[in-house]
């Protein structure tokens, strides 16, 4: 049984390389997109920090800005 | 109706959903992998090489679905003059392209033991390669142009031309003599695939769909934050 699963009647090389390529592509895409997201969040937090109190107050009135700041601190 | 889908209103959902979708994706993918690699039977002709179908077919289906969505969203963006459609479309494209590449590569790996060759200029394979080129052009346009109006026009043009290829991909196995086998699953008529292979295929398709949703949401959030970053610059 274990041998059957392991060797797949001689097709294991093809099957496992197809599955590995797929999973590695998933991992690669996930990491690239995650890095882009974190980079933009950090940029947002840094820009927000440079605003004077008046501008920061008006920017914080937008719900989305508050959410971005909250998510950036969670990451 | 579109006001309900305004980025400001939906960000709370789109920013929190990825962690739950990632969890669900890992669960469904784990079940799918056990089904595909261990529990599903080998084919009477192709033996265990048939297991490649569980990654090849879902990847091809989803890449076709995403390309059709890109076209529909781009056209809607123009009709309703709503930038959000283009933003959604842009966020969908990377996963569509990756799924297209996966379908091509796993198809090539599957081709070697079944047809005896890694590649053939067959109608189905060539038309899938053409779709990958359209995906690539779409992604490049968003990278190289700065003016939004220009990007919207060119990217829509690319998707409208590219959509002509979709029925060619679908019917290529019926219209021409190809190495590629005809469709085993039909929505309107009886499928020729046994349930012991159909269920793992559907589970893997669900896992792949969850992954594309996850990537879409993360990319969409990135795009929204980019817009907000530009907004802070203007303050």
Say if the Cβ atoms of B222 and A36 lie within 8 Å: yes
**Residue B63 and residue B51: Cα distance in Å, rounded?**
20
pLDDT tier for residue B82 given thresholds of 50, 70 and 90? confident
Question: Could you tell me the residue range of the domain that residue A70 belongs to?
Answer: 2-74
For B144-155, how does the pLDDT look when each residue is reduced to its tens digit (9 = 90+)? 998 888 999 999
- CA A66 to chain B, closest CA, distance in angstroms equals 10
Instruction: Please tell me if residue B56 touches chain A, with a CB cutoff of 8 Å.
Output: yes
B39, with CB counted inside 10 A (0-12, 13-18, 19+), is exposed
Q: Which of A33, A55, A64 comes nearest B215 by C-beta?
A: A33
B158, with CB counted inside 10 A (0-12, 13-18, 19+), is buried
Say if the Cβ atoms of A68 and B15 lie within 8 Å: yes
Residue spans of chain A under pLDDT 70: 1-4, 55, 60-61, 66, 69-70, 72-75
Total domains present in chain A: 1
Residue B95 contacts by C-beta under 8 Å, 6 or more apart in sequence?
A29, B62, B66, B211, B212, B215, B216, B219
Strands (E), chain B: none
For B189-199, how does the pLDDT look when each residue is reduced to its tens digit (9 = 90+)? 676 778 888 99
Q: How many Å from the N-terminal Cα to the C-terminal Cα in chain A?
A: 44
Residue to mutate among A2, A33, A43, A52, with most B CBs inside 10 A, is A33
For B109-145, how does the pLDDT look when each residue is reduced to its tens digit (9 = 90+)? 999 999 899 988 988 899 999 999 999 999 999 999 9
Say if the Cβ atoms of B51 and A11 lie within 8 Å: yes
């Amino acid at each position: 049984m274990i041998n059957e699963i392991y060797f797949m009647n001689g097709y294991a090389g093809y099957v496992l390389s197809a599955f590995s390529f797929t999973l590695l592509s998933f991992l690669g895409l996930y990491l690239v997109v995650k890095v882009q997201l974190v980079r933009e969040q950090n940029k947002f937090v840094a820009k927000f920090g440079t605003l004077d109190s008046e501008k920061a107050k008006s920017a914080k009135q937008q719900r989305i800005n508050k959410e971005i700041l909250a998510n950036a601190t969670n990451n | 109706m579109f006001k309900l889908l305004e980025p400001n209103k939906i960000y709370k959902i789109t920013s929190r959903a990825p962690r739950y979708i990632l969890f669900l994706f890992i669960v469904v993918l784990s079940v799918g992998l056990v089904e595909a690699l261990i529990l599903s039977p080998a084919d009477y002709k192709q033996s265990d090489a048939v297991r490649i179908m569980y990654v090849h077919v879902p990847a091809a289906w989803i890449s076709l679905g995403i390309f059709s969505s890109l076209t529909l969203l781009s056209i809607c963006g123009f009709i309703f003059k709503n930038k959000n459609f283009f933003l959604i479309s842009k966020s969908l494209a990377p996963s569509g392209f990756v799924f297209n590449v996966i379908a091509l590569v796993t198809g090539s790996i599957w081709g070697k033991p079944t047809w005896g060759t890694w590649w053939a200029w067959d109608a189905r394979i060539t038309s899938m390669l053409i779709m990958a080129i359209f995906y690539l052009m779409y992604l490049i346009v968003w990278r190289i142009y700065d003016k939004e109006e220009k990007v919207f026009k060119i990217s829509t043009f690319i998707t409208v031309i590219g959509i002509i290829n979709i029925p060619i991909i679908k019917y290529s196995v019926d219209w021409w003599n190809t190495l590629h086998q005809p469709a085993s699953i039909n929505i309107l008529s009886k499928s020729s695939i046994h349930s012991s292979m159909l269920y793992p295929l559907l589970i893997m398709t669900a896992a792949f769909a969850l992954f594309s949703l996850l990537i879409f949401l993360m990319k969409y959030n990135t795009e929204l934050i980019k817009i907000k970053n530009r907004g802070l610059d203007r303050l």
